[in-house]
Amino acid sequence: MPSELNVTLIQLIKSLSMGMDMISTAVSNHHMRVGYLSARIAHKLNASAEVQRDLLVSGLIHDAGALSLKSRLDALQFEADGIVHSLAGYKLVRPYPKLKMVANYILHHHTSFTDISESIETIPIESNILNLADRIDVLIKRDQPFSTQIESILTAIIKHSGTFFNPKYVEAFRALATDNEFIDKAENPIDHLYTLAPERLENEILLHEELLEYTKLFSQVIDFRSRFTATHSRGVAATAAALAKLMNFSAQDQDLMLIAGNLHDLGKLAVPDHIIEKSGPLNDSEWKTMKEHPGHCQRILAGIPALSKVSKWACNHHERIDGQGYPLQISGNQISEGCQILAVADIFTAITEDRPYRKGMTFERAQGVFIDISGSALDSYITDIVITNFDHLNEVRILAQKEAEKDFYNFHSSD
């Protein structure tokens, strides 16, 4: 049984949050600050450590269901109808046992105090703290310091006390609004997350199996933005792990390869939808943006030191041994076997998977692709393994993508 990796739940969640906040400057720090504000308001109300923890985590990923930039921007409107993205976020998060209450809070993060009061047996009341924190952050103008706006924000919030928001929660915010320490930290919430709900979060190390499971959430937030790529990362993950096994990587490293596959396109969260979804060739400026995704991936994963190997493998998947890749243009043996496995798995999955607008390639055509790039993009030693084991790798990929497809259908079903 592989040993634990010392990755905490909060490190993972914070990384996902960071990725989601990169999509546009209009949403900069939104998830981070909503996490911070929720936890601080809950603390002010003397909520239990568990509630503080659940609210912090909820804040960090509450708009995970707003997958496109448009829905992320819509979610920022003060009176947005948030039912669709709240339900979508709930469905993404509910399979994870450690996020059970988080899923419920997310489901109701746009439910008003009035509506909660009518369904108090079924809706967790604290979800209204998340709603309040979300609306506070939406009111912050990004080009001015929070300290200069807090009074006007408080006035706007008070108008909705007793209707949108629980008056007790508004009172807690009113008290915090005069606390300079609270305001200073709110300017830069990312640096202060670990001081919140510390009893629970700091020690919440994920078991090996949990870590594998929880990185699936990343793959879904990344891939479900487009039906063209809805199962892509899971195919890459399974193919990369199978290749690592064929190349005698240890059991632990095979699992790390699965994680790297799930995370390899994490940086694409920062790439706008019209580029992700474009079916024709990208123009120069679109390419420039697209080529930034491995760098974003690396910056996001820097927050999880225990995954440094995963980060190296996942974030170098567009480098080539002839130095013509991106973004670092490293070459030869600067690109480790692990990086090449990820690169091969990415290409293998992309060319063999069916997409709504075209069928996947046959063995002969795919073989041609690997022969073409052998010795230029990739080491011939690795492309030979792919060609020799094509059927096995393809079976593994198909199986993994079928499973991911089920998840995608469940996500879109109306239950």
Nearer to Fe ion by C-beta: 5 or 237? Answer: 237
| CA distances to 33, 110, 149, 274, 295 from 270, in Å | 18, 25, 28, 12, 11
Give the contact letters, 229-268, x = binds to Fe ion (CB under 5 A), - = no: ------------------------------------x---
Shortest separation between residue 4's beta carbon and Fe ion, angstroms: 29
Q: Tell me which stretch binds Fe ion (CB under 5 A): 71-79, 113-121, 164-172, 238-246.
A: 71-79
Helix-strand-coil percent breakdown of the chain, rounded to 5?
65, 0, 30
Residue 298: CB partners within 8 Å, gap ≥ 6? 267, 311, 315
Nearer to Fe ion by C-beta: 206 or 235? Answer: 235
On whether the CB atoms of residues 64 and 99 are closer than 8 A, the answer is: no
Euclidean distance between CA atoms 66 and 83, whole angstroms: 10
What are 37's two structure tokens? 């504000």
Number of chain residues interacting with Fe ion (CB under 5 A): 5
Q: Note whether 134 binds Fe ion by CB under 5 A.
A: yes
3-state secondary structure 147-206: HHCHHHHHHHHHCCECCCECHHHHHHHHHHCCCHHHHHHHHCHHHCHHHCCHHHHCCCEC
Shortest separation between residue 109's beta carbon and Fe ion, angstroms: 6
Q: Tell me which stretch binds Fe ion (CB under 5 A): 92-100, 126-134, 203-211, 272-280.
A: 126-134
Which amino acid appears at position 91 of this protein?
A: K
Shortest separation between residue 267's beta carbon and Fe ion, angstroms: 8
By CB under 5 A, name the one of 19, 82, 235, 325 that touches Fe ion.
Answer: 82
Give the contact letters, 41-70, x = binds to Fe ion (CB under 5 A), - = no: ----------------------x-------
Q: Angle of helix 363-373 relative to helix 380-388, nearest 10 degrees?
A: 170
Nearer to Fe ion by C-beta: 126 or 134? Answer: 134
Q: Give the dihedral of Cα atoms 14, 20, 21, 27; nearest 10 deg.
A: -140
By CB under 5 A, name the one of 42, 64, 69, 75 that touches Fe ion.
Answer: 75
Shortest separation between residue 276's beta carbon and Fe ion, angstroms: 11
Euclidean distance between CA atoms 349 and 369, whole angstroms: 12
Name residues contacting Fe ion, limited to 150-179 (CB under 5 A). Answer: none
Nearer to Fe ion by C-beta: 20 or 307? Answer: 20
The residues that touch Fe ion, with contacts defined as CB under 5 A, are: 63, 75, 82, 134, 265
